[in-house]
Structure 1
């Protein structure tokens, strides 16, 4: 009987030890093994350093902006979600090419806002453990997205790009490694790419082939475990030009 009791106690201790070990592994994975999150922060920092003259404080949106080399589109991300007036991350771009192609802005969904001669396509993050105060640097503001809204960070394997997912299939993407990024005539092989999903714009009257300044092309994306080609509006840039 005593022998059986000792076996039961030993088994119970072993279960506790294993459970504690598994808990450590889970906590470690959560805190330090987010490869995509950490890798995206490193490569995003490289983009910011590559074009510092294009990275600016954006007081209106309580954050920072990265402007395209052709001055027609910006990626804006908030450093203080409690103060961002419309969206916490967005693309801001010239609306005229889309108006010329038939856009009726009044028919766009809520993730779009017309502001003067600009159209905003953004996302308002769901409430979470919001940190008090504004992020002190552009990179810190991006890392706040990684920390609080990890599901918004994407790795596009077909293009070897990281990205911030906005609502409605819109995105801002950048090369995982600009030094090894293959730049060809393909609009996808660029250092940064501003991406708009055409569906909502087409439903609002846009004839996609008539939009000037944006490439209307297919890209490979993963859906239900398979790679498929879908159409996107793309504005890509090689930062070494």
Structure 2
């Protein structure tokens, strides 16, 4: 009887250990690899990571002050992922914020954060993954749960050695498989059509940091991309 109890305890310990080791797994290889790559970027630049208590969002700050954000709890709000961008460069290129679909875009005027730091005008592209309540533990676990909730949104771009996270039709956040591969550590890609319809003149993007990219075939499994504007971030700068 004692031997049986011991075997049960050993088996339970093995199962527990295995569960602990497999905790980061999303259930999809590309999503797993994307998670590992993203976490390495954040760990390399820990001073760029922050947490917004009111929104329950983790955020990674980019060299221009823009941010990529992901939610601690998918039930907290409708923006489980968010690209937070400088609005003024796009406005100067003709974009009329008021003509954008309020269900698809958010605008936050300049002001102060909760620490008294100045904030510029910001254009935000939110994306809702799920409204399921999650008790995540830290930024890595939060990202794991988000990717696991919809692994089909993640793909790998072989030519660029980038992972791509789709935030709705034609909108993406991409990050490098390995830091140092090239200067494109992270990329924001926005579908151009709704921005152009709201007045953006892609010919006036020269000094904005954004570049127009014509529609063409993507080298990931997501297929063809529409016309986009993209912004490349070299995190080392």
Q: Which runs of 5+ in 1 are unaligned?
A: 1-30, 184-188
Aligned residue runs from structure 1 range 223-238, under 5 A: 231-238=227-234
Provide, for residues 140-167 of structure 1, a one-character-per-residue CA deviation record: whole Å limited to 9, x for no partner: 1110112112122222223221122112
TM-score, scaled relative to structure 2: 0.74
**Which residue in 1 is equivalent to 2:168?**
167
In the alignment, structure 1 residue 60 sits paired with structure 2 residue 54: yes
Query: Residue 34 of structure 1 corresponds to which residue in structure 2?
Result: 28
Q: Which residue of 2 aligns with 1:201?
A: 195
Cα 1:52–1:224, aligned 2, differ >3 Å: closer, same or farther? closer
Partner of 2:129: 125
Q: Secondary structure at the match of 2:64?
A: coil
Q: Give, in angstroms, the shift of residue 32 of structure 1.
A: 8.1
Structure of higher RCO (CA pairs closer than 8 Å, 6+ residues apart): 2
Pick the structure with more helix per residue: 1
Larger radius of gyration: 1
Name the residue aligned to 1:113: 106
CA deviation after TM superposition for structure 1 residue 226, in Å: 10
**Aligned ranges 1:85-124 → 2 under 5 Å:** 86-109=78-101, 110-116=103-109, 117-124=121-128
**Number of equivalences:** 199
- With structure 1 as the length reference, what TM-score do the two structures score? 0.73
C-alpha contact (below 8 Å) 1:41/1:142 kept by paired residues: yes
Over the residues paired in the alignment, what is the CA RMSD in angstroms?
2.6
Structure 1 residues 202 and 40: CA distance shift in structure 2, 3 A: same
Give distance in 2, aligned partners of 1:232 and 1:140. 31
